[in-house]
Amino acid sequence: MPLTIIVCMSWAVFWIDYRELGPTLALSSTAILTLIAFMFSLLGIQPPVSYLTHMDYFVYGSLSLVFFTHLSGLACYTLARSGREELATRLDYIWRFLIPLCFAVLIGWYLSGAD
């Protein structure tokens, strides 16, 4: 549950105006750092094994989505600054729904127990 809250927190980037780089980067960076701290806390709970577990794949998938959210904020800001505001708006709108959909697929995969 905490991991899901952290990932969902990163989606707020899509509701912040992408021309505002400071708040966008602050939010996405905070989500990334919080997720990394969460990963370190998992190290103390899980027994040490020499292979990646099903939970490891889920956590790394979540981290990838949060990092992509960070990159998408940067991409939209860069596009808007270079005069391609319409494309930036369209991408921001698409990612607003695509990233949560990808996370829902990741949760479905995790809950199915399939490797």
Q: What is the pLDDT of residues 52-88, one digit of tens each?
A: 888 888 889 999 999 999 999 999 999 999 999 999 9
Q: What is the pLDDT of residues 85-105, one digit of tens each?
A: 999 999 999 999 999 999 999
Question: What are the residue ranges spanned by the domains of the chain?
Answer: 2-44+52-112
| Single pTM value for the model | 0.84
DSSP percent split of the chain into helix, strand, coil, nearest 5: 85, 0, 15
| pLDDT, averaged across the chain | 89
CA 63 – CA 89 distance, rounded (Å): 24
What superfamily in CATH does domain 2-44+52-112 come from?
A: Neurotransmitter-gated ion-channel transmembrane domain (1.20.58.390)
CA 84 – CA 91 distance, rounded (Å): 11
Q: Between 115 and 5, name the one with better pLDDT.
A: 5
Buried b vs exposed e over 90-104: b needs ≥16 C-beta within 10 Å? ebbeebeeebeeebe
pLDDT of residue 20: 86
